[in-house]
Amino acid sequence: MRYDPPRPAGRLLLTPQDKDAPARVRRLRRLGLGERSEPAFDAFADRLAHVAAAPYSMVNFIDEQQQFFAGLHTPDGFARGGPAASAGGSELDLGRYMARDHGFCPHVVVRRKALVLEDVCDYPRFAGNPVVDEFGVRSYLGAPLLDSSGIALGTICVVDIEPRPWGRAGLETIKAMAAELTGQLERREEVHGI
């Protein structure tokens, strides 16, 4: 007979407390970010996916309740913002919104550091995340968008449904691209006088 002890809240992962969320939301609203997608963010996500050779990439802004993919790249044959058949034949909804307790980007924002998960199943803390079972996520690489005010506005990330050896090169790439996008956001603020 086998005994499996109960897991708290149905999984090991707990979304980290985000004390900076109210300040981040005020900053995002001031910049006009986090409520609508923009072609420039989709183009950035497309380029990020190409550079990382990843099937999925996102520009993600996070508030107190949810995540918003202002930029989204999905594999050919998948619709941005709508359901499409996954490799396994089931429906996969790749909408622009995701609950704050789904995925790994909320951890990146709170940690204010990049996160490399070559195989999420190797980390009990992350293997229990709903995106692993619901979407088949197996590999994640993300970095925070840290602006000059010191606030982590969100993240950029790449995701794969297979384990991926991102390595140091992947880490350096995601960090450099996060810095590039943060610079674009700050120039946007200067140009528009926000």
pLDDT in tens, 142-151: 999 999 888 9
Convert the pLDDT of each residue in 104-139 to its tens digit: 999 999 999 999 999 999 988 888 888 888 888 999
Q: Is residue 184 scored above 50 in pLDDT?
A: yes
Query: Average of pLDDT values for 178-192?
Result: 86
Which residue stretches of the chain are H helix? 21-31, 39-52, 105-111, 124-127, 130-135, 167-192
The closest of 169, 115, 110, 167 to 140, measured between CA atoms, is 115
Query: Where do the domains of the chain lie, and which CATH numbers do they carry?
Result: 15-169 (3.30.450.40)
Quote the mean pLDDT of the chain.
Answer: 83
Query: Average of pLDDT values for 21-45?
Result: 92
